[in-house]
Structure 1
Amino acid sequence: MPLRLILTATFSVAVLAVFIGLGVWQLDRLQWKQDVLAKIDRRIAAPPVVLPDQPDPQRDQYLPVKLAGRIGAEKLRVLVSSRDAGAGYRLISPLVMVDGAVLVDRGFIPVAAPLPAAPPVDVTVLGNLHWPDDRNSATPDNQPADNMWFARDIDQMADALGTRPVLITARQITPSDPTITPMPVTSAGIPNDHLEYAMTWFLLAATWVVMTVFALWRMKRRTRDTRTPRND
């Protein structure tokens, strides 16, 4: 076999091994991510506890809590889009308790809907502590003066409503307000694209095999043609 064919085949096998290795690595990452999401789901659905004195973003992310208090009259609206209901707002209000106030994400209202009034009675909130990461490079700045919010910036919202910088995303508020649709915390919004990445690498590997076989065939044929004497 000519040296050129040997070098081409060796290089092709090395590249193929890289593609397959990256695909297998993405499958390992997929299993890891599925385990992480399963743990998050179990934590979200765990029995609720009392609100910690000093909630920690790392330790207490997704912690289910149950607390009671009075919904304050002030409210912030954070622009969002619901798959089923279209454009609307997350409604953020203070929950005033004996030992202070925290932020409560009460749920979704359509853009055209009026802002609902605060309940005239104490409520019980069942939800999860959350430190959302709503902002990316394309997210506009919040406009507190016009009550236009594009990201749930906890410190900024707490400053606007005079609460502790703690946010509970409600699963259920009792008594409920039928004009507000709860948007509880779930793991659905956490990216998990590892299967697509794995399939991409394996597809590249398959394509590389076809290209390599074709290239080797052409090289071998060209070598054979150059060695075959011509009959003039």
Structure 2
Amino acid sequence: MRRFIIPLLFGLIGAAVLISLGVWQIQRLTWKESILTEIEGRVTAPPVALPDTPDVETDKYRAVVVTGDVLAPYLRVLDSRKRIGPGYRLINVMQVGERRILLDRGFVTQDEQPTEGRYADATVTGNLVWPDDKNSSTPEPDLEQNLWFARDVDAMAAVLDAEPTLIVARETSFYDTPVTPLPVDRISIPNDHLEYAITWFSLAAIWLVMTGYFIRRMRHKPEGTET
């Protein structure tokens, strides 16, 4: 029986580690659901005026309404929609009083030809967003081709001479076809913790099955023979 102790312990400890990771993901799922509920409350709240100094911590996803002039040109951000295909988000400057902010007008496919986006006295209802699209593997924008690979608010604001404040449009007072607004909602905010938990629990089950199979094979081999 001694020769079974090490593989058995190895199997049980490995499974325990994998199960603990699955439990941790379930706990993260509960935490994320509470965060998403709070975000949904902000997203769907009655819109307010644009804060004088928007704060990423307190104002993220806040519903706002602004009136001003949408200015050309726009920046193109590579994007893709399910059942639609690849295309671009369009980012314009919106002049609101003395302020120049960024406006995410929405999505167009690669084949569509949107207008530049010159709209005077426009009213936009949307949400303040500081996207986390960019990561360490995101390419730098191709400024000559006007092609961006993430909504890098600070970099876009510098290029367009605007403040680093982005509104994602939900409703607009102007006719903007073929642009389709992509309003913020909880569906657009990733929550993959359940899938991660299932993965860890599945790996734990596989680990236990393989441990049992290995021990079963050991039982059918005489002690001292090579495995």
TM-score for both structures, normalised by structure 1: 0.83
Question: For 1:29-63, what per-residue CA distance to the aligned partner results, in whole angstroms no more than 9, with x for missing partners?
Answer: 22222222222222211211111111111221111
The letter of the residue matching 1:29 is: R
1:126 is displaced (CA, Å) by 0.3
CA RMSD of aligned residues (A): 2.5
Question: For 1:168-195, what per-residue CA distance to the aligned partner results, in whole angstroms no more than 9, with x for missing partners?
Answer: 1101111332321101223334333322
Residue 200 of structure 1 is matched in structure 2 by 199
TM-score for both structures, normalised by structure 2: 0.85
Contact map agreement 2:114 2:177 (CA 8 A) in 1: no
Residue 181 of structure 1 is matched in structure 2 by 180
Question: For 1:156-215, what per-residue CA distance to the aligned partner results, in whole angstroms no more than 9, with x for missing partners?
Answer: 222332222211110111133232110122333433332222222222322233333334
Q: Distance in 2 between matches of 1:219 and 1:92?
A: 64
Report % sequence identity: 46
The letter of the residue matching 1:103 is: L
Contact map agreement 2:119 2:174 (CA 8 A) in 1: no
Contact map agreement 2:19 2:201 (CA 8 A) in 1: yes
1:221 is displaced (CA, Å) by 4.6
Structure 1 stretches lacking a partner, 5+ long: 227-232
Q: Spell out the pairing of 1:12-161 with structure 2 (5 A cutoff).
A: 12-161=11-160
Q: Distance in 2 between matches of 1:157 and 1:222?
A: 67
1:141 is displaced (CA, Å) by 1.5
Q: Distance in 1 between matches of 2:45 and 2:167?
A: 15
1:68 is displaced (CA, Å) by 0.5
Q: Distance in 2 between matches of 1:6 and 1:87?
A: 55
Aligned residues: 224
Residue 213 of structure 2 is matched in structure 1 by 214
Q: Distance in 1 between matches of 2:68 and 2:157?
A: 17
Q: Distance in 2 between matches of 1:142 and 1:183?
A: 22
| Higher strand fraction (1 or 2) | 2
Q: Distance in 2 between matches of 1:119 and 1:88?
A: 21
1:67 is displaced (CA, Å) by 0.8
Structure 2 stretches lacking a partner, 5+ long: none
Contact map agreement 1:144 1:160 (CA 8 A) in 2: no
The letter of the residue matching 1:182 is: P
Larger Rg belongs to: 1
Q: Distance in 2 between matches of 1:148 and 1:8?
A: 55
